[in-house]
Amino acid sequence: MTTPHDPQMLKGVLSLLLLRLLADRESYGYELVQRLREAGLAGIAEGTVYPALARLEREARVSARLVSSRSGPARKYYRPTQAGYAALAEGTTGWLSLAAVVTPVLTAAVPSQPAPPFEEDQK
C-alpha cells in the first residue's frame, strides 16, 4: 500500500521530477505519468502533469515535438533545453540541501508531550 502524497508538496517538486525523467529519456505526457507512478507516485493524475509540462514549455525549460503514432493521434514528446538542464541542476542542489535540513528534524523521535518552555530569565 502506498502512502498518499500531499498535493502541495508534490506541486513544489513536480517540475524537478519531470525535468529529471526527461533528462533520462524523451517522453510524452502520459508516458511521464506512468513513469512517475512506477517511481512511487501512484496517485499522480494526468491533470497535474500536463499543466506542469505546459509551464515548463512556456518557461523554455523543455522543448516539444510532435511524433506520429500508429495507435492514434500524434504524441507531443518533451526534452529538456539547456535552461532545463540548468534548472534541474539548481533545483536538485536546492532540494537536497533542504532535505538535509528537514530530514533529521522529521525523523527524530517524537516525545509523548512537548517539554515546558525554556525560561531565559531563570536565575
Per-residue pLDDT of the chain (123 residues; tens, 9 = 90+): 455 667 777 778 999 999 999 999 999 999 999 999 999 998 898 899 999 999 999 999 999 999 998 888 999 999 999 999 999 999 999 999 999 999 999 999 999 999 999 887 665
Task: Specify whether the CB–CB gap between 85 and 23 falls below 8 A.
Answer: yes
Q: What is the pLDDT of residue 81?
A: 98
Q: What is the pLDDT of residue 3?
A: 58
Q: What is the pLDDT of residue 69?
A: 85
CATH class of 7-92: mainly alpha
Q: Angle 5-14-102 (CA atoms, 0-180°, nearest 5)?
A: 65
| Pairwise CA distance, residues 64 & 74, whole Å | 12
Nine-digit cell at 32?
Answer: 511521464
Given strand 27-28, what is the order of strands in its sheet? 27-28, 72-80, 62-69
Kindly list the distances between the CA atom of residue 41 and the CA atoms of 8, 34, 46, 48, 119, in Å, as whole numbers in the listed order: 14, 9, 12, 12, 44
